[in-house]
Structure 1
Amino acid sequence: MYNIVIRLHFLCFVYTFFCLHVSAQDTVKSTLPIIKDPEQFRMVVSNDSSQQLIRLDKLAPNIRLDLRYADKNNFTGKRLYPRGLKITFLRKAPAEALREVAIELEKQGFGLKIFDAYRPYSATVEMWDLIRDERYVANPVRGSGHNRGLSVDLTLYYMRSGKELAMGTGFDNFTEAAHHDNPNLPEKVLINRGILKSVMEKHGFQALDTEWWHYSWPNNRKYDVLDLSFEEVNRFQPSPPRQH
C-alpha cells in the first residue's frame, strides 16, 4: 500500500510539472508576436522592403555555407533543419552589410563560412529544452536575433586553400575558451578572432561576448520573430535586376 501511495505522489508531481511546462509554452505563444503565416510575411514585406530576408549564398562568391543544424554535427546531436539544406537568410540591411564584409575580406584573401543565420522559432524552442542557459541559447520568451533574421554564426577561411582559420574552438563550444575576452589562448587565435570581429563591427554588427562566431544586427524593435520554413521564406526572394 505504501508503494502505491508513493507512486501516486510521483505521478502527480510529473503531471503537475508537465502542465506547468505546457502552460509556460502557451504563455510564450500568446505574448510574443510570431509570424507563422507566409501570407502575413508577404504583406509585411510588401509594406516595408527592409523586412525582406535575403539569401546569403548569392551575396558574394567567397561566402560558403556549412549549415550545422541541417545535420547532426551540432551541440544537440540532432538535425533541426531539413536534411541537405543549402540556403539561409538575413534581413535586407544585415545581408547588405555582410556583402560588404565579404568584399573587404576577399581583398585580404579570406572568405566567410556561414554556420547559421535565420532560424525558425520552433528550432529555438527545441534548443532551449536541451540547454536552458541564456549565455548560449536564446530564451523563447523573447525570441532571438536568429529568429528575426538578424544574427549570423560564421568563421573565416583561406580562399587559396579553403582551410578555416584557427579560432581556438569549434562552433557551438559552450566553454570559456569561446569567449572573446579569454586571454588564455594562442596569439594566432586572438589575431584571427580580431580580424573577424573588427571587420564585422566596422560594418555594423555586434559581437556576442560568449561566442566568437556569433554576430547580430541591431533590432530597434522593428523586426518580429518568424517561424517560417526555409522553403516558405525562399518564395519571397526579390527578383534579380533586369539586364539592359
Structure 2
Amino acid sequence: MKFKKIILLWCFSVLLFSCKSTQLDSTKSTVLLDISNEVDENKFVNLKNYSNDFVYDMKYATDDNFLKEKVYPCDECFLRVKTVKSLLEANKTFLENGYRIKIFDCYRPKAIQKKMFQLVPNATYVANPKKGSIHNRGGAVDITLVDSLGIEVDMGTKFDFFGEEASHNYQNLTEEILANRKFLKEVMLQNNFKPFDSEWWHYNLNGSNTDKVENLKWNCN
C-alpha cells in the first residue's frame, strides 16, 4: 500500500509539472517589471510586463496574415528572458532617434509552424518544422519601425511578403527604403541580433539556434 501511494504521488507530480510546462501565463503585472531581476535567461516571459514602449500588431492573433485565419488565442508576445533583454536595449536606441519597434510576431508554438509550412513549403520563407524555427525557440522577432506619430516606416514591402523584394540583398529600391532597412539592421546587429536574409523584418538572437524547440501555448486574460 505504501509503495502504491508513492507511485501515485510521483504520477501526480509528473502530471502537475507537465501542465505547468505546457502553458504560458498571460497575466499582466500591475507595474512594469525589471528584466534585470530575471536570473533564468531561458525562461519565457511576456514582453508587455517589462515595457510600454513597443507597438503591437500581432498578425497571427488576427486573420490579417497569409494563413487567412487567427491561430493565436490573443496578441501576447512571449520570448526568452535573454531575447527580451536585447530587444529592450535595441528599442532604447530607436527611441533615442525618434522611433520605436512595432512587433508582428514573437514566440511561435511548433504546431503553428507546421500549419505555416503546409501552406508555404519553402524553407527560404518558412522554416521546416522538422528542424524548427527560431520563433519556436523564443529567440526570434518579426518587427518594423514606427515614427513618433505611430506611422510605419517605409520598408518597401509588407510583412510576410514572399518575394525577392523582401530580401536584405535586394537593391532595386529607393534610397529612403534602403536607408530605413539599413537603420533597422544596424541597430539590431548592435544589440546581439542577426538578420534573416530573405525577410527584412525577421531577426534572430545570436546563439538562439541551439535552444529547445517548444510547443507551449498560452491562456488569455
Give TM class, smaller chain.
0.7 to 0.9
Cα deviation for residue 88 of structure 1 reads 1.1
- Taking the aligned partners of 1:132 and 1:115, their CA distance within structure 2 comes to 21
Gapped runs of 5+ residues in structure 1?
Answer: 1-35, 43-47, 235-244
Q: Offset at 1:41?
A: 6.4
Equivalences for residues 165-244 of structure 1 within 5 A: 165-219=153-207, 222-231=210-219
For residues 147-188 of structure 1, give each alpha carbon's deviation from its aligned partner in whole angstroms, at most 9, with x where no partner exists: 1100000000002x1100000000000011100011100110
**What is the TM-score when the length of structure 2 is the normalising length?**
0.80
Q: What residue in structure 1 maps to residue 55 of structure 2?
A: 64
Q: 1:153 aligns with which of 131, 139, 142?
A: 142
Q: Alpha-carbon deviation of 1:222? A: 4.5
Q: Distance in 2 between matches of 1:124 and 1:41?
A: 17
- CA drift at 1:87: 1.4
Change (3 A) 1:38 1:167: farther
- Any idea what the Cα deviations from partners look like across 1:20-73, whole Å, max 9, x if unmatched? xxxxxxxxxxxxxxxx9443469xxxxx81211121223333211100011111
How much is the aligned-residue C-alpha RMSD, in angstroms?
A: 2.0
Q: TM-score normalized by structure 1?
A: 0.73
Where does residue 20 of structure 2 map in the other structure? 39
The answer (yes or no) to whether the contact 1:60–1:103 under 8 Å persists in 2 is: no
1:89 aligned to 2:89?
Answer: no
Question: Is the radius of gyration larger for structure 1 or structure 2?
Answer: 1
1:75 paired to 2:66: yes
Of 42, 51, 58, which aligns to 1:51?
42
* 1:121 pairs with 2:110: yes
Alignment partner of 1:225: what SS? Answer: coil
Residues 164 and 126 of structure 1: CA distance in aligned 2, closer, same or farther (over 3 Å)? same
The amino acid across from 1:127 in the alignment is: M
Q: Distance in 1 between matches of 2:175 and 2:218?
A: 39
Aligned length: 190
What is the distance in 1 between the residues matched to 2:56 and 2:209?
Answer: 28
User: Match of 2:83, as an amino acid?
Assistant: P
- Letter of the structure 2 residue corresponding to residue 68 of structure 1: K
Q: Deviations over 1:81-116 (max 9, x none)?
A: 11xx23111111111000001111111010110000
Q: CA 1:205/1:220 → structure 2, altered by over 3 Å: closer, same or farther?
A: closer
